[in-house]
Amino acid sequence: MAGGGRAWRSGAVGLCLLLLPLTGCGGGRTATGTATAEVQQVLDRRAAAVLGHDEQAYGETGTRASYASLRAVPLAEWDYRVTAVHRDGAEATAQAQLRYRIQGYDKAPVTTDRTLTLDRTADGRWYVTYDKPAKKAGQQLWDQGTVTAVKGAHSLVLGVGQSEDALHGYARLADTAVPEVSKAWGTDWTRRVVLLVPASLNGMAGLLGAPAANYRGIAAVTTGEAGGSGRSPADRVILNPEAYAVLGSVGRQVVLTHETTHVATRAHTTAATPLWLSEGYADWIGYLDTGRTPTEAAPELTRAVRSGEVPEDLPADKDFGFTDDPTKLAEAYEGGWLACRMIAAHWGEERLGAFYRAVGAHQGREGAVEDALRQELGTTLPAFTERWREYLGEQLGD
């Protein structure tokens, strides 16, 4: 890699020397450089108008359509950094990095790439005609329509194509989830949740920048930075309103509590944490106090166990992939949940939390579970796995 870098530097210097008699190699301001500076100034004014809630000033810099869509979002920061401008006469296309932060929720700005088109007016000013996600960048919620915001005691719910009453319902579920998670996990987290509720499954997929087929039947996902370095914004819980609508009242609460657990545990969830533990622990808290029995909460694994197909090993990360096999996915979640339920029942709820933190604190995946099992639970991975298999038979068998 270093050799390639030296070759590139050498080539760049050679090109500069060749062009020196013609251009001065970096001297003077090019037309593109001038356009870049002018576009940056326009976007600076546009950003100031967003933060200042000044629709007229926003309109003076370009189309007002996006202003109406994002007006309800409580923003503490909003700015653009132009990274490239391609000018063609009186038209230009700009690539820019948008940074924004939600007031009271984000520790650091969200960063996303945008593509903007601009026209140059007769008096020489640039005017934004379109602002959209850059290629391969996910949509922001306001790209999908006008955002409605509802604030709960512990939550902020932002929705598109949703009634205010529906958003208040989501806020109540989130406000119930936050103290429930804190009771089990502890209070060393923000104890606030941001929910994004698009109008449809396609809207959810647009926010995640992925095909809708990947999330069909998935009620919600949580996005965030593993390990909680503090350099990323708050997690976002993104709902799939189509899958969520078919759940009963208990199921809806379980989903929101599960996702809120991911928010709470993010700082202790690292590359060392296997998915059976992170998803199983979130389900364990989600199902607490619901009265659901193992056979009710784990129907797919119940069928497998009663057919004599007790899993040999704890679920692997690949088993949690969103594929065309929903049964395998369900069994993975159920297996992780029952592993955490077993730890809580045999070693105690505090030991389960300590085990989770110990795994996440490991330097890497290799040996993380084994070391934490020995240190926190006084057992080995083979012994733990065998106990888990026996537990499946006890809890799910005929």
pLDDT in tens, 119-133: 999 888 999 999 999
- pLDDT of residue 6 exceeding 50, the answer is no
Q: Which two tokens stand for residue 72?
A: 């309800």
Query: What CA–CA distances, in Å, run from 365 to 197, 352, 369, 384?
Result: 34, 18, 8, 18
**Across 6-10, 228-232, 335-339, least confident range:** 6-10
- Residue 97: which pLDDT band, with cuts at 50, 70 and 90? very high
- Edge to edge, the sheet with strand 126-133 lists 75-88, 91-102, 110-120, 126-133
- pLDDT of residue 4 exceeding 50, the answer is no
- pLDDT of residue 8 exceeding 50, the answer is no
- Residue 381: which pLDDT band, with cuts at 50, 70 and 90? very high
Closest CA to 276 of 337, 355, 194: 337
pTM of the predicted protein model: 0.87
Closest CA to 331 of 288, 290, 299, 293: 299
pLDDT digits (tens, 9 = 90+) for 223-234: 887 665 556 677
Q: What's the alpha-carbon Rg for the chain, to the nearest Å?
A: 26
In the chain, ranges of CATH 3.40.30.160 domains: 141-264
Phi, psi of 28, rounded to the nearest 5 degrees: 80, 170
Instruction: Tell me the pairing of strands 147-151 and 155-160.
Output: antiparallel
195-198-202-207 Cα dihedral, nearest 10 degrees? -50
d(CA 336, CA 139): 32
In the chain, ranges of CATH 3.10.450.50 domains: 31-137
Query: What CA–CA distances, in Å, run from 378 to 228, 273, 348, 369?
Result: 28, 19, 13, 12
Q: What is the DSSP letter of 97?
A: E
Quickly list DSSP for 54-87: -HHHHHHHB--HHHHHHTTS-EEEEEEEEEEEEE
**Across 27-41, 98-112, 235-249, 330-344, least confident range:** 27-41
How many other C-beta atoms lie within 10 A of the C-beta of residue 40?
17
Long-range contacts of 143-147, Cβ-Cβ distance < 8 Å, separation of 24 or more = 143/69, 143/206, 144/198, 144/199, 144/203, 144/206, 144/207, 145/69, 145/199, 146/68, 146/69, 146/71, 146/72, 147/69, 147/70, 147/71, 147/72, 147/73
Three-state secondary structure call for residue 343: helix
- pLDDT of residue 199 exceeding 70, the answer is yes
CATH number for the domain running over 141-264: 3.40.30.160
Closest CA to 73 of 143, 17, 1, 10: 143
Domain 31-137, CATH number (from 3.40.50.300, 3.40.50.12280, 3.10.20.30, 3.10.450.50): 3.10.450.50
Q: How many residues does the chain have?
A: 398
What's the mean pLDDT in 91-113? 94
* Residue 145 near residue 161 (C-beta atoms within 8 A): yes
- pLDDT of residue 15 exceeding 80, the answer is no
